[in-house]
Amino acid sequence: MSSAFHRRHFGKTSLHHILATSISSSALLSNVKSHAMEGSIYRVAVVGHTGRGDFGHGLDKMWQKVSNTKTVAISDSAGMEHAKRRIPGVEAFDDYREMLRSVKPDIVSIAPRHVDQHHAMCMEAIHNQVKGIYIEKPFCQTPSQADEIVTGCHQNGVRLAVAHRNRYHPVLNVVKDCIEAGEIGKPLEIRARGKEDQRGGALDLWVLGSHVLNVACFLAGDPISCQGQLLQDKRLCEQRDVREGDEGVGLIAGDELHTRYEMSSGIPLFFDSIKNHGVRSAGFGLQVVGQEGVIDLRMDREPMAYIRKGNPFQPTTTPSSWQPMSSAGIGQPETIQGLGSYISSHQAAGDNLVQAIQLGRQPMCDASQGRQTVEMICGVFASHRQGGASVQFPLENRENPLS
C-alpha cells in the first residue's frame, strides 16, 4: 500500500477543522480556520414551498447545526401558517420576496426541489444583497439561467453553494490521490449511474445524476464534449416523446439514456440510466476503472468509497476483496466521528459556505460548478437532437435543446 494514503490522518479534532483542511488543498485555510469560524453571526432566511418542492432534504433545519448562523425568517408560498409550523419562533412570511426585503438576511437557503423556482429565487436574493446562498440541487433549468446567476453572484460578491453534499466528503481527496498515485494503474474510464427507479432516464439524470456528475468532474476534470442518446421503449426518442418533466426540470424525453463525456483528464465518463432498472438504489454512484483495479463510490453512503485491486479484465481464481477507503486512507478505520451525518445533514456544506463568506473565497461547490452540471445534462439533449453527434462545451444553445 502506498504511504501516500496514511498521511491523511486527522486525529481527534473538530469536524469543522477537519472539513476545512480536508476539502481544500490550501494549507492557508487550515491555518486560519480556527479564527475564521469566530466572529459575526450570519442571519439566515429560508425559502420553501410546501407541496411544490417543500424544503428539500432538510435545507431549513440544517442551519441549527451550522456554526456562526442564526435562522431569523422562513417563507412558504403555501401560506404563513405552513411556515410557522416548519420553524416555530422565527418570523414567517408567505412571500419570499417580501421576506428578503423586510428581513435583509445575510444568507438565503433556497430549499424547494422544484427547479423552475430556483432562478427567480436566486436573482431576488442577489438583488437584495445577500452575502451567501445555499441552493437545493439541481441548480437551475438551463445554461442561460445559470449564466445569469453566475454573473449576478460575481458582480455582487455573493457566495453561492449548490447542495451537492457528496462533494464535501473528505474521502474524495483520498480517492483522487489514490488515482494519481497509480493505486489502480492507468485509469481507463468512469462508469456512472443514477438510481434508475421510476425516474429512470432524463429525470434521473437531472435529479440524481447531478450529484454523480459533480463528483466525476472533481476526479476527472472539466467536460470537453459529450455524445448522448435518449430512448423510449427501446427506440430513439422523437419529438412526440418530449414532455414536461417532474420537479420542474423542464422538457425531457425518454425512459432510458446513454451518454459519454470526454473529460479534460483524458478519462472518459459514461452515464447510463434505465427506468426501473436499478436495485434499491444500488447503482447510484460511479466506478473508476483502471488497468490494475477499481474504485467504487456510492452517493449518500458511508463508507463512501471502496477499492479492489487486480486487473478487472482478467478473471482469476484468487479471491480479491473490496477494501473501504476512509479519510485516513485505504483500509483504515474512519477517524472522524459522526462524519456521515455531518455530510448528509448539509452541515459540512453550510460550514463551508460560512467559511467562504468570511475568507472571501468561493464555496467548495460553487455557482460555476452548478452551471457545469446543468450544461452536462443539457449536452445529452443537444447531442440527441443532432443524431448522437458530439457536442462541445460550453454549449452554443444556452436554452433547453429539447424546446
Asked if residue 20 belongs to a domain, the reply is no
Residues 174 and 281 reside in one and the same domain: yes
Full residue range of the structural domain in which residue 149 is found: 39-162
Pair (311, 228) in one structural domain: yes
Q: Is residue 403 part of a domain?
A: no
Tell whether 34 is covered by a domain.
no
- Tell me, yes or no, whether 293 lies in a domain: yes
Per-residue pLDDT at 289: 98
User: Do 83 and 123 sit in the same domain of this protein?
Assistant: yes
How far is Cα 110 from Cα 128, in angstroms, rounded to an integer?
14
User: Are 178 and 273 part of one and the same domain?
Assistant: yes
* Number of domains into which the chain is organized: 2
| pLDDT computed for residue 278 by the predictor | 76
The residue out of 162, 182, 215 marking a domain boundary is 162
Residue 28 lies in a domain: no
- Mean local confidence (pLDDT), 380-388: 98
C-alpha cell read off for 329: 486512507
Q: What's the pLDDT at 82? A: 95
User: Does 158 share its domain with 174?
Assistant: no
245: confidence class by pLDDT, cuts 50, 70, 90: very high
Q: Are 110 and 140 members of one domain?
A: yes
Distances (CA, A) of 380 to 116, 241, 384: 19, 15, 6
Same structural domain for residues 251 and 373? yes
Confidence band, pLDDT 50/70/90 cuts, at residue 387: very high
Give me the chain's average pLDDT, please. Answer: 91
Q: At what angle do helices 15-22 and 347-359 cross, to 10 degrees?
A: 70
Residue 182 sits in the same domain as residue 322: yes
pLDDT band at 252 (very low <50, low <70, confident <90, very high): very high
- What is the C-alpha to C-alpha distance for residues 186 and 286, in angstroms, rounded to an integer? 17
pLDDT (0 to 100) of residue 38: 59
The reported pLDDT for the residue numbered 281 is: 64
Cis amide bond preceding 303, omega within 30: yes
Q: State whether 140 and 199 are in the same domain.
A: no
The cell numbers describing 302, all together, are 458511508
In a shared domain, residues 317 and 380: yes
Measured CA distances, 227 to 244, 262, 328, 344 (Å):
23, 9, 37, 32
Domain holding 70: CATH number? 3.40.50.720
Average pLDDT over residues 22-33: 35
Mapped onto helix, strand or coil, the DSSP state of residue 125 is helix
pTM of the model: 0.91
pLDDT reading at 168 higher than 70: yes
- Beta-bridged to residue 231, according to DSSP, are 236, 256
Domain identity same for 136 and 177: no
**Higher per-residue pLDDT: 1 or 89:** 89
129 and 176 part of one domain: no
**Number of neighbouring beta carbons within 10 Å of residue 118:** 27
Confidence of residue 316 (pLDDT cuts 50, 70, 90): confident
- pLDDT score of 199 more than 80: yes
